[in-house]
């Protein structure tokens, strides 16, 4: 079959052809970008923290009427309070280990700064978040040490949370070690935090995600340093690892035990995000709720778009089939087979969809470009576009099949009637 008669026929339905092609183009442009957004969010949500996240929860509490922490005596008092809490939690049945920590990945409470190779370097070599914790932090979080040694009890110091001293040793994540020392010889080297605070790398953990999920830390998502410090402040945070399956039971017991040991504190009982005791699964869920929501919304919009476009093709093609009823009969009477009629409409749709897809590719790239310049968006990889093109062509063929088959069923006898 030559294309010529199809093209001639199409010229008589310019408006309809243009509308379908336009609809396919717009659908392709939006669906490609939406699916790309979904892909990015899914990838983001799936990022590992480096923690063994099961059977892990965090306690966040604020002291009431506690000392200010500005002078050595009050820091000692705060530290004693904190050590008492750690002991209380350790005594709970079902607890494997407990550590003091200033923050955890995904909680968006961040301590951060520049890391340099030389003191008072004009521009820091890289940036990192800082974790502070005691010797129990590595085993409690389940971090994998790949070089050097972990902290032992003798390494741990305690200081006020606005104290600016840095302990002499630090453990860093591998990505931070690599960005400081690309040749892999970070162990034993001295680095400088915030320009001037010198410290020596004594251990490297395989992975530890940033405590921030915001755009602030994008670019150094896995740069983390752990300082052997118990921070003494008006608040404290503890991480608790429980025996498998005991997480919920221990979480419930922890609140009562802490209040019983010292009622002069606030552990938020907010039913939502601000609860003082949250499992790591909850923390993860909260951190990525917006991303999940965005992905779901984009998915819903894509489905609606594809449905509407497919329905539009069915509707308009059905109209054309009805309009050309008699012509189809004439063709059949002149010897065209059913399959020829079917192919006619399929090829016609292929042509229109092809034109729409061409325009759609341009629109998709343009939209991606525009999103890149206005929002945090990266360039859409080609596979997304190619998949989109194939999907749109397939959608067109699927949508046209029903009306095209109806056309092919028009009996040749129609040609002899009603002329």
Contacts of 38 (CB under 8 A, 6+ apart): 295, 298, 299, 302
The strand pair at 126-132 and 145-148 is best described as unpaired
Nearer CB in complex with another protein: 8/15: 15
Structure tokens at 52: 């063994």
Rounded CA gap, 58 and 98, in Å?
10
**Residues 343, 10: contact at Cβ < 8 Å?**
no
By CB under 8 A, residue 33 contacts another protein: yes
- Residues 366-395, one symbol each (x = binds another protein by CB under 8 A, - = not), give -----x--xxx-------------------
Supply the minimum distance, in Å, between the C-beta of residue 66 and another protein: 9
Half-sphere exposure (Cβ direction) of 361: Cα atoms closer than 13 Å:
16
Nearer CB in complex with another protein: 26/99: 26
By CB under 8 A, residue 4 contacts another protein: no
By CB under 8 A, residue 93 contacts another protein: no
- CB-CB neighbours of 335 under 10 Å: 8
Nearer CB in complex with another protein: 12/243: 12
Contacts of 99 (CB under 8 A, 6+ apart): 86, 133, 134, 136, 137, 139, 140, 141, 238, 239
CA neighbor of 243 nearest in space, from 54, 393, 31: 54
Quick one: which segment of 23-31, 89-97, 200-208, 382-390 binds another protein (CB under 8 A)? Answer: 23-31
CA-CA-CA-CA torsion sign (317, 323, 327, 331): positive
Rounded CA gap, 34 and 42, in Å?
12
By CB under 8 A, residue 206 contacts another protein: no
**Residues 200, 170: contact at Cβ < 8 Å?**
yes
Tell me which residues in 258-297 interact with another protein (CB under 8 A): 259, 263-268, 272-273, 289-290, 292-294, 296-297
By CB under 8 A, residue 19 contacts another protein: yes
Nearer CB in complex with another protein: 15/153: 15
By CB under 8 A, residue 365 contacts another protein: no
Residues that bind another protein (CB under 8 A): 15-16, 19-20, 22-23, 26-27, 29-30, 33-34, 37, 62, 64-65, 68-71, 113, 122-123, 160, 162-164, 194-197, 233-234, 259, 263-268, 272-273, 289-290, 292-294, 296-298, 301, 304-305, 308-309, 311-312, 315-316, 318-320, 322-323, 371, 374-376
């Amino acid at each position: 079959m030559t294309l010529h008669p199809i093209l001639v026929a199409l010229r008589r339905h310019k408006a309809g052809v243009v509308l379908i092609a336009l609809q396919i183009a717009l659908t392709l442009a939006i669906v490609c970008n939406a699916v790309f957004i979904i892909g990015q969010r899914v990838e983001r949500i799936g990022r590992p923290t480096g923690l063994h996240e099961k059977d892990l929860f965090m306690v966040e509490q604020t002291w009431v009427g506690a000392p200010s922490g500005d002078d050595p005596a009050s820091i000692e008092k705060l530290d004693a309070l904190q050590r008492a809490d750690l002991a209380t939690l350790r005594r709970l049945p079902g607890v494997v280990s407990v550590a003091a920590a200033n923050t955890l990945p995904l909680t968006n409470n961040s301590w951060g700064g520049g890391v340099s190779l030389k003191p008072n370097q004009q521009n820091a070599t890289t940036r990192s978040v800082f974790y502070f914790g005691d010797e129990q932090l590595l085993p409690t979080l389940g971090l994998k040490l790949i070089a050097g040694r972990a902290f032992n009890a003798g390494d741990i110091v305690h200081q006020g949370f606005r104290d600016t001293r840095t302990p002499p040793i630090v453990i860093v994540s591998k990505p931070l070690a690599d960005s400081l020392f690309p040749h892999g010889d970070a162990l034993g080297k001295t680095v400088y935090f915030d320009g001037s605070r010198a410290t020596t790398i004594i251990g490297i953990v395989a992975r530890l995600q940033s405590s921030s999920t915001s755009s602030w830390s994008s670019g150094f998502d896995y740069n983390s340093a752990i300082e052997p410090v118990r921070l003494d402040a008006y608040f404290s945070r503890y991480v608790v690892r429980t025996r498998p399956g005991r997480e919920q039971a221990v979480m419930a017991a922890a609140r009562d035990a802490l209040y019983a040991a010292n009622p002069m504190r606030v552990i938020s009982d907010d039913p939502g995000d601000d609860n003082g005791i949250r499992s790591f699964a909850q923390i993860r869920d909260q951190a990525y709720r917006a991303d999940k929501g965005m992905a779901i919304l984009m998915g819903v919009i894509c489905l609606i778009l594809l449905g509407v476009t497919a329905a539009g093709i069915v509707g308009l093609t059905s109209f054309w089939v009805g309009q050309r009823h008699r012509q189809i009969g004439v063709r059949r009477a002149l010897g065209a087979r059913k399959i020829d009629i079917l192919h006619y409409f399929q090829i016609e749709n292929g042509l229109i969809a092809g034109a729409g897809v061409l325009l759609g590719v341009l629109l998709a790239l343009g939209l991606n470009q525009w999103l890149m310049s206005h929002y945090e968006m990266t360039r859409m990889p080609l596979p997304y576009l190619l998949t989109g093109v194939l999907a749109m062509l397939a959608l067109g063929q699927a949508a046209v099949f029903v009306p095209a088959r109806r056309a092919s069923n028009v009996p040749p006898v129609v040609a002899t009637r009603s002329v």
